Amino acid sequence: MSTNGSKLGVEVRLEQLRRVFAGVVALTAAHSLLVGPRLLSLEEMTLPGASRSDETLVAELRSLRLRSIALSGASLFLSLTVLFCTVLLQTAFAQGGV
């Protein structure tokens, strides 16, 4: 493979890495700014002595907990993907030397 072709391949991989990184940032922001605060406020509503503790609130809380777990898991997966791709870019395979 030519040097020009290997540079193009690395640039494409870097662009893919940037997209995965943007996904990590978006998932983390969604979890930290949207899901997390809502989850905390719902949990406060279900504390003993709180005025609202009905079935609808409990169902919404359960659903939000599941979304929180899913977002955290997806963020972890994408973070590990970014690390893996970063390491992979340092290998001869990424440089087109294989």
State how far the Cα of 86 lies from the Cα of 29, in Å rounded to an integer: 22
Q: pLDDT tens across 68-79, in order?
A: 888 888 888 988
Contact 39, 61 (CB under 8 A): yes
Q: Which residue has the tokens 């493979």?
A: 1
Which of 16, 4, 1 minimizes the C-alpha distance to 93?
1
Q: pLDDT tens across 24-66, in order?
A: 889 888 888 888 888 888 877 776 665 556 777 878 888 888 8
Question: The whole model's pTM is what?
Answer: 0.61
